Amino acid sequence: MIYILLLFVLFLIGIPICFSLGLVSLGGIVAGGYPLTVVIQRLFTGADSTALIAIPLFILAGGLMVQGGISKRIVDFADALIGHLPSGLALVSILACMFFAAITGSAIAATAAIGGIMMPIMEKKGYENTFSAPLIACGGSIGPIIPPSIPLLLYGTMAGVSVGKLFIGGFIPGIIMGVGLMILSYFIGKKRHYVGRETRASMKEILSTGKDAILALIMPIIIIGGILSGVFTATESGAIACAYALILGIFVYRELKLKDLFGLFVDCAKSTGQVLLVVACASLFTWIITVAQVPQMVSSFLSATISNKYVLLLVINIVLLIAGTFIDTTSALVIFTPLFLPLVQSMGIDLIHFGLVMAVNLTIGMCTPPLGVCLFVAGSIGRVSLKEQMKDLLPMLGVLLIVLIIITYIPGTVTLLPNLVG
């Protein structure tokens, strides 16, 4: 357990995640007398996975969609559907985040893209930025739940379970998260007299905006359908998504220029490098804790003290919620998956169900202080501090925690759709 403690000490003193993982692992290898060639072998092996090729592809596809003018079309369609309701702009923001999640799978991208469009409009309509910023941050956290999802792809690779089924399992939890936030926004909006558009959209406007957005919104259907039908793998689906995004951006919407591609490729390379460096160092860390039998010790300890799988899930939720407040989603996944997986399997917990429980836990961390990266993104757009967001953030986090409890203790909310498709 000394490795885990050292790791968290390094986190707390501000050493970057990947270097913390590498330093602790290197110390364990030297202390254990293992050859240093293990470092190179495990770093290479950790990143040398065909499934991980999908990460840069999905990151690039998301960038192409954002640059190609998808965000505005999604917002316009959401506004036509529900913008006339009380707190209409807040409801539009959440619905747009859900639509956008089905395209990019990124919480940060959804927060930045939808926040950049909606928050100036909401401010003009009298919505306080101290409400709008945490709302869009929490809405953005739906990004990694509704497929496609990089965290679910990583978990599926490490746990050896179907990425396609994980993707399908994310639909219901993601929808419940969005609906919960919309219900809360509706009642807050009625109390504060927040309004949306003055008149209800005509059927002609709904059909027109829907026509503009439909090509973007069918992308997840193409991805999931292709994976399940066996036309292409989860990895290949990333390439399909990139090709589809290029065609839409350049030839259909005509907002993506060839001169924009170089910048997108550079941004994609930077983001991919950050993720894969963490994955590679985490592979080394996983090896050293496995050799030291840390997962077995954790499993034995929890097995001796916990005999009920529901209590186990409660403990895991608490650990992950705390970890998610100061560790990013990717790092937390690669650290805790090998720790909890043996025990979860021994308790007979469905691995698809557990993957979504982990993902929802850790995405809540993306809008929870002090790390709360989505809060900082939305706050920078709305020019409000983290402290100023706290009052309205707390009930929103309460909604997300209720959703977490629902999917934790009603496994069918996750497993229903994967079981239906076989």
Please give the average per-residue pLDDT across 130-155, as a whole number.
90
Query: 27 lies in a domain?
Result: no
For residue 7, pLDDT over 80 is answered with: no
For residue 144, pLDDT over 80 is answered with: yes
Query: 344 lies in a domain?
Result: yes
For residue 375, pLDDT over 70 is answered with: yes
As for how many domains the chain has, the answer is: 1
For residue 134, pLDDT over 80 is answered with: yes
Please indicate whether residue 397 or residue 325 has the higher confidence score (pLDDT). 397
Query: 201 lies in a domain?
Result: yes
Query: 124 lies in a domain?
Result: yes
Please give the average per-residue pLDDT across 169-197, as a whole number.
92
Whether the Cβ atoms of residue 289 and residue 4 lie closer than 8 Å to each other: yes
For residue 176, pLDDT over 90 is answered with: yes
pLDDT tens digits for range 46-60:
777 776 777 788 778
Please indicate whether residue 234 or residue 306 has the higher confidence score (pLDDT). 306
- Residue 197: the pLDDT is 82
Please give the average per-residue pLDDT across 53-77, as a whole number.
81
Residue 173's Cα: distance from chain center in Å?
12
- Residue 403: the pLDDT is 96
Please give the average per-residue pLDDT across 329-345, as a whole number.
84
Please indicate whether residue 282 or residue 320 has the higher confidence score (pLDDT). 320
- Residue 108: the pLDDT is 79
For residue 113, pLDDT over 70 is answered with: yes
pLDDT tens digits for range 393-415:
999 999 999 999 999 999 999 99
Please give the average per-residue pLDDT across 130-148, as a whole number.
91
- Residue 177: the pLDDT is 96
How far are the Cα atoms of 223, 300, 324, 350 from residue 422, in angstroms, in the given order? Answer: 17, 33, 32, 14
Looking at 118-122, 238-242, 386-390, 391-395, which range is the least confident one? Answer: 238-242
Q: In terms of residue numbers, what domain contains 206?
A: 49-256+292-421
Query: 269 lies in a domain?
Result: no
Query: 35 lies in a domain?
Result: no
Query: 117 lies in a domain?
Result: yes
For residue 242, pLDDT over 80 is answered with: yes
For residue 200, pLDDT over 80 is answered with: yes
pLDDT tens digits for range 281-312:
877 887 887 787 776 777 777 777 888 899 99
The one-letter code for the residue type at 377 is V
Please indicate whether residue 215 or residue 358 has the higher confidence score (pLDDT). 358
How confident is the prediction for the chain on average, in pLDDT?
85
- Residue 313: the pLDDT is 94
- Residue 422: the pLDDT is 66
Portion of the chain with pLDDT greater than 70, in percent: 97
CA-based Rg of the chain, rounded to a whole angstrom?
A: 21
Query: 5 lies in a domain?
Result: no
For residue 355, pLDDT over 90 is answered with: yes
Most confident of 62-66, 280-284, 287-291, 379-383: 379-383
What SS3 state is found at 33? coil
Portion of the chain with pLDDT greater than 90, in percent: 25
For residue 1, pLDDT over 70 is answered with: no
135 — pLDDT class (breaks 50, 70, 90): very high
217 — pLDDT class (breaks 50, 70, 90): confident
State the pTM of this model: 0.81
Looking at 74-78, 272-276, 294-298, which range is the least confident one? Answer: 294-298
